[in-house]
Amino acid sequence: MMETIYIIIIIGLVVLFFVSLFLYVGKTSHNSSVKGGKKRYHKGATGKDKIIYDEVVRLLKEKESVMNIHRKTGVSRNTVYKIQHEMEPEVGRDEAYGN
């Protein structure tokens, strides 16, 4: 009789474990598909973000290095590279990369 109770308890714990694992995996997989935040520096930006974006574009057109733009504006180098890449069709690849 005691063995039956122990078996029922163990089965209940195993079921509880798998149900909680299933719910946890379902919750994390949904949230992990959404990464990153709102894009800040772009043509359609407003306010302070627009001012910084315009400054980065101006410095790129003046063939300033990405590292110097990063230092002057506080914008990450990756963001400067992304803005530079977006400018390619507008000003041409050679001009956008300072060649």
Query: What is the maximum alpha-carbon separation in the chain?
Result: 86
* Domain regions of the chain by residue span: 1-31, 47-96
pLDDT one-digit tens code per residue, 13-68:
988 888 887 776 655 555 555 567 788 888 888 899 999 999 999 999 999 999 99
Fold entry, domain 47-96 = Arc Repressor Mutant, subunit A (1.10.10)
Q: Give the rounded distance of the alpha carbon of 26 from its chain centre.
A: 21
Tokens of 93: 């690849």
pTM over 0.75: no
Confidence tier at 71 by pLDDT (50, 70, 90): very high
3-state secondary structure the chain: CHHHHHHHHHHHHHHHHHHHHHHHHHHHHHHHCCCCCCCCCCCCCCHHHHHHHHHHHHHHHCCCCHHHHHHHHCCCHHHHHHHHHHHHHHHCHHHHCCC
